[in-house]
Copies of this chain bind each other. A is one copy, B any other.
Amino acid sequence: MFTAAVLTLSDKGSRGEREDLSGKMLAEMLASIGGRIETYVVLPDDRKLIEDKLIYYADQYGVDVIATTGGTGVGPRDVTPDATRAVIDKEIPGMAEAMRLAGLQKTPFAIISRAMVGCRGKTLIINLPGSPKGVRENLEAILKAIPHAVEKLKGDPTDCAAPETLARAPEVVADGGDQRSSP
């Protein structure tokens, strides 16, 4: 179970000129893995506005996941990845790579998506393309990893480095962080 915000970036959508099927699909897919959609908003492709919303949802609202749809291309009004990059602490490049790799199975044009994934504090921020088809194909590629990432972001104490076997002792001696050999 995790909380989520859905943010649709679309000039037309924000003027009420288009139904936001992508945002709806995004919300449904997140719900399917235990996401509770706390808030949903449609914004124009305005970088400053997007940055402000991402910061607000992460810092004030404190949702576990912010998922965006739209504005991931290379057009003059596509600024979602740039806004995302500006507000994240850490990039998680493998999640974006996995989405592009999945997209590439469907269309050679998938490689121009600049969708970014990263975290701000304990909030995971995921960019998805603007079409419902793009949302579905891309999100499916990373869906299983989202709850896991959310847990890790929160500082899940599970020990990732649990040894496979303790039978073999290491022969190399650790210096325990001693800085003697350093300047």
Contacts and interface: CB of A to CB of B under 8 A. Distances in A.
Contact of A14 (B94, B122, B159, B176): B176
A37 B82 CA distance: 31
Nearest to A156: B75
Contacts of A13: 174
Nearest to A25: B170
B112 A21 contact: no
A18 B161 contact: yes
Category for how many chain A residues contact B: 35 or more
Q: Which of A75, A109, A110, A148 counts the most chain B CB atoms within 10 A?
A: A75
Nearest to A129: B160
B160 A52 contact: no
The 6 closest A-B pairs by CB, nearest first: A42-B174, A94-B111, A130-B161, A24-B170, A94-B100, A108-B144
Interface of A: 6, 8, 10, 12-16, 18-24, 27, 37, 39-44, 49, 52-53, 56, 60, 70, 73-77, 81-82, 90-98, 100-101, 104, 108-114, 119, 122, 124, 129-133, 142, 144-145, 148-149, 152-153, 155-156, 159-166, 168-179, 181-183
